[in-house]
Structure 1
Amino acid sequence: MLRRNIRLRREYLYRKSLEGKERLLYEKKRKIREALEEGKPIPTELRNEEVALRQEIDLEDAHTAVPRSTIDDEYANAANGDPKILITTSHNPSAPLTQFVKVTRHDIKDKKAIGTMPEAYPHLILDNFSTKLGQRTANILKYLFPVPKPDTKRIVTFANQSDYISFRHHIYEKRGGPKSIELKEIGPRFELRLYQIKLGTMDQDEAQTEWVIRPYMNTTKKRKFLGD
């Protein structure tokens, strides 16, 4: 296990070091594409590399034209199998590896009416994660759950409003036919707030912090980080 962790750390750091080079190469090819599309001369600084770059451009498709990053690789194979989840919690938001802070929680009181808690994989509703950080957060939440069956009646909702993420848990029934749907909340319900996203594996002390909430962000009420 120790050797494997060392190997994974080296691979991650190596991929990270390549990102700057790939981004520079992407910018060069982008300038050549624009010049060709607009009928303009090739930029002077790229004329010595034009032939090689145009050969690479001809071989690219929609998946290879844009450089990938270590963030993109994180969920690259998520659809090939059920995710392996490790969830950590802490009463201290500044504790290492904490990603979300649980703000409030409310349990449904009428537990007898709920009945047995379903264990089927749920359908997901991810609402108002429109920014780049919001889409990143939505991916983190989405891949906590395996792919559900089409006929499952369990629904989990993550709804963002003013950077507070509301969790809701429902089931539905079609008692009056396909056009009559009865939605029942089975709880629990709670609010989350994104605290931190770190790059790398959990045992990497040197992993970079991709995003973290800062004290001054609490006063920027007009600015939304996750969505509209």
Structure 2
Amino acid sequence: ALCVWQLRRQARQRREYLQRRAQEEQLRRQEEKKQKLRQALDENRLLPTELRREALALQKELELDTPGLDGTGSQDDEYRWAGLEPPRVMVTTSREPSSRLRLFAKELCLLLPGARRMNRGRAELGALVGACQAAGVSDLLVVHETRGSPDGLLLCHLPHGPTAHFTLSGVVLRQEVGGLGGGSPAAPHLLLLHLDSPLGRRVGTILKHLFPVPRPDSRRVVTFANQDDVILVRNHVYKRRGRTVELEEVGPRFQLRPYLIRLGTLEQGDAADVEWRWHPYTATAPKRRLLSTT
């Protein structure tokens, strides 16, 4: 059990984290207003209605801004120290997993270099997250299933979040892919394709920091390709033969679709603030592309 002073320290760090996130969001909104004002002045058109009351104050701030700097640098980026140390990833499953789910969790550990798998047992989420925080784990992955088919992935970045919720589909195991049996344990090069919207960059940041920095001579490539807001995940190894390159898929192969990002850890549940939520039932939902600008 945690001591009282440890609980107080965690609560204080959590409050500081949320305060810095709120300040960062306020600065981002202020920069968006200045950008709209600058664009309206450059194009010599009417100011947006929501900016007319504070246009003079924004113009004074624009005159003081340094050219080339937007002033929106992250004050509290959860991944600002990424790359100094390799991530420590823990993979677990829902309770009473099927054999296919256990095998898929094992193959996730092969996909993520240095990841370890933990049997869920009867552990609750609070005890699970607390044990990972005490062990210095950087990310916790929880895989869920429905009738023996993996269909959900929860990705919790420790110690303060965020927690990303994904639907999981199209799971093909390594033995079903039919490529190389063992593959390569080296850290892979990452390809993030068509994740160029603000939300896409946020999801890409969450996913890419599960992997350590690769060596230049690594012969493994993991691809996260966005296609109609569905992220296709592929794992390949390649060999050079003269001027040609032979590419072979080793698996596992699956698809991810984000539907919720919370500014908190997994055990906080609905108490954590919602950073983004997918609204599929709005009138414009079929027309929008969330993860890419095109």
Cα distance change of structure 1 residues 141 and 28 upon mapping to structure 2, 3 Å threshold: closer
Residue in structure 1 matching 2:256, options 179, 188, 192:
192
Q: Residues 26-175 of structure 1 correspond to what in structure 2 (within 5 A)? A: 46=57, 57=65, 65-69=70-74, 73-83=77-87, 84-91=138-145, 97=163, 99-109=165-175, 114-174=180-240
Cα distance change of structure 1 residues 44 and 127 upon mapping to structure 2, 3 Å threshold: closer
Contact 1:168/1:190 (<8 A) preserved = yes
Distance (whole Å) between structure 1 residues aligned to residue 222 and residue 55 of structure 2: 55
Task: Name the structure with the higher strand share.
Answer: 2
Contact 2:228/2:289 (<8 A) preserved = yes
Contact 2:153/2:165 (<8 A) preserved = no
Distance (whole Å) between structure 1 residues aligned to residue 174 and residue 202 of structure 2: 30
| Structure 1 residue 107 displacement after superposition | 2.5
Distance (whole Å) between structure 1 residues aligned to residue 184 and residue 71 of structure 2: 41
| Structure 1 residue 29 displacement after superposition | 7.8
Secondary structure of 1:181's match? Answer: strand
Residue 40 of structure 1: aligned partner: none
| Structure 1 residue 218 displacement after superposition | 10
Deviations 1:187-211 (A, max 9, x none): 1111111121112344545431111
Distance (whole Å) between structure 1 residues aligned to residue 252 and residue 200 of structure 2: 23
Letter paired with 1:10: R
Distance (whole Å) between structure 2 residues aligned to residue 24 and residue 195 of structure 1: 23
Contact 1:85/1:144 (<8 A) preserved = yes
Contact 1:108/1:188 (<8 A) preserved = yes
Contact 2:177/2:252 (<8 A) preserved = no
Secondary structure of 2:19's match? Answer: helix
Q: CA RMSD in A?
A: 3.9
Letter paired with 1:148: P
Q: Which runs of 5+ in 1 are unaligned?
A: 38-42
Cα distance change of structure 1 residues 31 and 182 upon mapping to structure 2, 3 Å threshold: closer
Higher RCO (Cα < 8 Å, 6 or more apart): 1
The number of residues matched between the two structures is: 215
Cα distance change of structure 1 residues 62 and 4 upon mapping to structure 2, 3 Å threshold: farther
Residue in structure 2 matching 1:182, options 239, 246, 264:
246
Distance (whole Å) between structure 1 residues aligned to residue 141 and residue 249 of structure 2: 24
Contact 2:166/2:258 (<8 A) preserved = yes
Contact 1:156/1:170 (<8 A) preserved = yes
TM-score, normalization by structure 2: 0.59
Percent identity of paired positions between Structure 1 and Structure 2: 39
| Structure 1 residue 73 displacement after superposition | 1.1
Contact 1:200/1:207 (<8 A) preserved = yes
Deviates more, 1:25-34 or 1:15-24: 25-34
Residue 208 of structure 1: aligned partner: 273
TM-score, normalization by structure 1: 0.74
Distance (whole Å) between structure 1 residues aligned to residue 33 and residue 164 of structure 2: 39
Q: Which runs of 5+ in 2 are unaligned?
A: 1-5, 43-53, 88-137, 147-151, 157-162
| Structure 1 residue 5 displacement after superposition | 1.8
Residue in structure 1 matching 2:19, options 14, 34, 44:
14
Contact 1:155/1:169 (<8 A) preserved = yes
